[in-house]
Structure 1
């Protein structure tokens, strides 16, 4: 669970950096974003990495279900007196709920962008590249769609905040002396990824 989660964390860094091209002026953004999409689609090494990514997502979901079932079985009858809420944040106790929201969000995301790029006929830009940029901009012209994305990304943020720190602990990558540092890194990473992604739909909606 920790290894697949950290691999997905690395992917999110690459993904958010690539999508920063959406903040460029419209015509420049179209050319750059479409070029970037074509690069990801046609490069053999990136294709291999993408298959690892798909397997990691599946493995992460499967492990999450297995761990949830084991936890439910181990807990048995609910405690008559349960004060765990006083010593742990709500998102750490509801990773399953957050994960489910993210999974549903991911289905929508893949259907509207990845599936369209791979399996449908898209218009071409002036350089003969599939014009995924126009598809993205059109999608983010709908306020309800932007709001849907913001909710999904908030869930991702809380999931990352606990998951990143928890993975570091699981793998034994920090000494008790460095707990504060590990938490600081988790917060910086989570804010950078979450706010970066959340800003994109809002920017496209307001600027087009």
Structure 2
């Protein structure tokens, strides 16, 4: 029993570390993509230049490998913890027995995670894969025209709606994940628990609202 608890704690630690790294990536990714809100000509030029610089930077390439490893590790550990807890206690991952007071998103992290993962696969296929292996046209500066691809993809209303729904799922996933990681890493002390909760809410809402606003802005205002 002690070994089982130790293994579970170790897995949750890895879940927490990979999750926090992915949160950091979301911040960086959002800041870069905010260029889409610039006036069209400037956004076109700067967004493509930004993408070109990132694609040719060895440090960014290393970080991208860490990113993919973190995504895979986060998903794998989530599945392992879910299956282990289900077999051992016949309850769902992170399920609070006090169902009447636990948050619905706490009891449905598996569903939220699945929605986000499916969206991530679609998103990587439509942008990362096409940028790396597709035949994108070049802009006036000779850079791959990722901006045109973004405008084209976000011109589809169904994709915009899917994006917004998935950002709502991500927001709730981040909420529970942030609080869970804080507890796992021993950062959820009663003295500053309120501050942790406020930061978690603000972070989740700001990040997901920022991402959701991009396709909406491009679709309706570009």
TM-score band w.r.t. shorter chain: over 0.9
User: 2:58 is matched with which residue?
Assistant: 44
- How far is 1:75 from its partner? 2.4
Aligned length: 205
User: 1:193 is matched with which residue?
Assistant: 207
Q: Write the mapping of 1:113-152 to structure 2, written as runs, cut at 5 A.
A: 113-152=127-166
2:79 maps to 1:76: no
CA-to-aligned-CA distance 1:136-191 (integer Å, 9 cap, x gap)? 01111111110011111111111001101111111012421111000001001001
TM-score normalised by structure 1 residue count? 0.95
Q: Tell me the distance in 2 between the aligned counterparts of 1:125 and 1:62.
A: 40
User: Tell me, which stretches of 5 or more residues in structure 2 are unaligned?
Assistant: 1-14
- Higher RCO by CA contacts (8 Å cutoff, separation 6 or greater): 1
Structure 1 SS opposite 2:48: helix
User: 2:11 is matched with which residue?
Assistant: none
Q: Tell me the distance in 1 between the aligned counterparts of 2:99 and 2:213.
A: 31
Judged with a 3 Å threshold, the aligned counterparts in structure 2 of structure 1 residues 77 and 120 are, in CA distance, closer, same or farther, namely closer
- How far is 1:83 from its partner? 6.3
User: Tell me, which stretches of 5 or more residues in structure 1 are unaligned?
Assistant: none
User: 2:21 is matched with which residue?
Assistant: 7
